Structure 1
Amino acid sequence: MQAERQQANLPLVRRLEAVSFRAWPAASVQYDGSWQVRLTGGHPSKRLNCVVALDPSDSRDIALRLERAARKFDAYGRPLVVRETPLTPKPLVEHLIAEGWTCFEEVVTQTVDLTALDIPDTLDHLPTQDVGRFVDASLALQGQDPALKPVLAEVINSIKPTVGMFLIEDPNAGPVASLLCVQDNDLAGILLFAVSDKHRRRGVGMEVLSSALRWARMRGARMAWLQVSTDNEAALSLYARLGFVEAYRYRYWSKDGSQ
């Protein structure tokens, strides 16, 4: 991560971090200096429940600030999670390592130039306006608890940029693929992308992703971004076929390896 930190385009990292916060807004956002404390009761997303530092030079009082953040997480019944990006101060990472924290997931942020993407400007699928229907499908495809529906709907409804909710459904089998596209001026974020196990490797993922990217491009987006776990080989292969390339990586840390 430290070598990647040196190579990362920090202005691009800052821009993509900011747009990702708008695309996936936490219910509670507090600042301790330049450290952002993100919490969302009732939803397990790590991006909605983490501490992320936004200035490489802001490394004062690390232990004290982590302790303050831990109290906030305790109030939500959650373990403290730190999200390390190329903007994270090096002394903070060194402190986590020295204190025995565990890095439990690495994620790559990728981008693609939509203006150069070779896809026709026709839409195979139009975004749905039915948040409840989309949320039901998304939770089912990701194998998540249906009880998360109210809080996930609340997260989606709180997104301020333009949202496109894409669904492919089968009359008999139910939801086949779902994807949330958030268009924020000239940037488009891909989130909640899921394909049913029975329909993978049949071109369905490419179909819904291409539709979302065309939709965003027709609305003025010039670059698309997404975040995917480095161990998700199927998704990485799909994105590579469309021309997505790595912008930077980030990692999650916790005291006891819990997520």
Structure 2
Amino acid sequence: MNSSLPETAVPQTDFAALADAAWPALERARVGAWQVRFAEGVTRRANSAWPAGGEADASPGALAAVESAYRERGLPPLFQLSGNDGAVRQRLIGRGYRVADETLVLAASVAPLFDTSTDAAVELADEPSAEWLAVWWAVDGRGGDAELDVARRILTGVPALYAGLRVDGAVVSVARLALVGGGWGGLYTVATLPDHRRRGYSERVVRALLAAGAARGVRDAWLQVLASNSGAIALYSRVGFTEAGRYSYLVGRLAVPPAGACRA
């Protein structure tokens, strides 16, 4: 654990709850012990179920109820599970689910790492501009204008800061810091256009954004990054982030499997 992190910050922090607030689904409901989230299929984070506020319910009835909630909306059932949810993970695998997107949760204490100096090339705003959205969507987007509109509604569903680094008159690197309260900020959508990579732009955007967050009262920050993304992990390590947890998704079939095709 990073020595810059307060000793009590990470063990007492529910990062799944922070992320749920920072990347808010357009619709949500409780199905037993599960919080189910829907956003027209745009991003796994906003279209998955997680065990909010307690242990995951691995009973066949509870899992079937979650599955029905997604299939009724034309979405494949999707569960977000941490490393502590081994029982439900094995139950889902037995029902034919596949594991996807192992993700690291990284955290850092902001104040000791960032000063209030400014990077003149980095622009900050409280709303994502069309140019900002275009850069992010060009790197991470999946879909067309309709999906981008859903993504914009997710992004703006909670107060946030948006940073964009401009080179030769055009924004080429972006990031978002969700302001969820309690001194925490969530770092999301770090993206640099392919032709402008390996020039340190993402690190400049991240540092400027966290400095701006510190000025808004952010004391600690977290982010999520795919465990396979070694380049991004190296970037965040340079900035001061270290691992605080991990999770993955369990992806089910859109259609109900035939009787006897899976084990409960």
TM-score, normalised with respect to structure 1: 0.84
Alignment-derived partner of residue 151 in structure 2: 152
Following superposition of structure 1 onto structure 2, how do residues 176-255 of structure 1 map, counting pairs within 5 Å?
176-185=172-181, 186-255=183-252
Return the alpha-carbon distance in structure 1 between the equivalents of residues 93 and 243 of structure 2. Answer: 26
Unaligned runs of 5+ in 2: 1-9, 255-264
Aligned residue among 80, 88, 105 for 1:92: 88
Q: Percent identity?
A: 22
* Residues 123 and 166, structure 2, Cα contact 8 Å, conserved in 1: no
Please tell me the residue identity of whatever aligns with 2:156: N
In structure 2, do the counterparts of structure 1 residues 136 and 210 end up closer, same or farther at CA, with 3 Å as the change threshold? same
Please tell me the residue identity of whatever aligns with 1:52: W
Q: Which has the higher helix share?
A: 1
Deviations 1:185-222 (A, max 9, x none): 31111011101111111010111000001001111111
* Residues 17 and 52, structure 2, Cα contact 8 Å, conserved in 1: no
State the Cα distance separating 1:256 from its structure 2 match.
Answer: 5.0
* Residues 166 and 178, structure 1, Cα contact 8 Å, conserved in 2: yes
Aligned residue among 138, 141, 149 for 2:139: 141
* Residues 101 and 254, structure 1, Cα contact 8 Å, conserved in 2: yes
State the Cα distance separating 1:145 from its structure 2 match.
Answer: 3.2
Deviations 1:110-131 (A, max 9, x none): 00111221x3311212413453
Following superposition of structure 1 onto structure 2, how do residues 16-27 of structure 1 map, counting pairs within 5 Å?
16-27=15-26
Alignment-derived partner of residue 49 in structure 2: 51
Following superposition of structure 1 onto structure 2, how do residues 74-113 of structure 1 map, counting pairs within 5 Å?
74-86=71-83, 88=85, 90-113=86-109
Return the alpha-carbon distance in structure 1 between the equivalents of residues 227 and 216 of structure 2. Answer: 30
Please tell me the residue identity of whatever aligns with 1:44: V
In structure 2, do the counterparts of structure 1 residues 130 and 99 end up closer, same or farther at CA, with 3 Å as the change threshold? closer
* Residues 55 and 87, structure 1, Cα contact 8 Å, conserved in 2: no
Asked whether 1:31 is paired with 2:7, we answer no
Asked whether 1:123 is paired with 2:123, we answer no
| 3-state secondary structure, aligned to 1:115 | coil
State the Cα distance separating 1:73 from its structure 2 match.
Answer: 1.1
Greater Cα offset, 138-147 or 190-199: 138-147
Return the alpha-carbon distance in structure 2 between the equivalents of residues 166 and 194 of structure 1. Answer: 11
* Residues 33 and 58, structure 1, Cα contact 8 Å, conserved in 2: no
Return the alpha-carbon distance in structure 1 between the equivalents of residues 52 and 196 of structure 2. Answer: 40
TM-score, normalised with respect to structure 2: 0.83
State the Cα distance separating 1:254 from its structure 2 match.
Answer: 1.5
Count of matched residue positions in the alignment of Structure 1 and Structure 2: 241
In structure 2, do the counterparts of structure 1 residues 201 and 11 end up closer, same or farther at CA, with 3 Å as the change threshold? same
Please tell me the residue identity of whatever aligns with 1:218: A
Deviations 1:15-51 (A, max 9, x none): x22221111000111112331111111x421110011
Asked whether 1:66 is paired with 2:63, we answer yes
Following superposition of structure 1 onto structure 2, how do residues 6-25 of structure 1 map, counting pairs within 5 Å?
11-12=12-13, 14=14, 16-25=15-24
Please tell me the residue identity of whatever aligns with 2:251: S
Please tell me the residue identity of whatever aligns with 2:222: W
Unaligned runs of 5+ in 1: 1-8
**TM-align CA RMSD:** 2.3
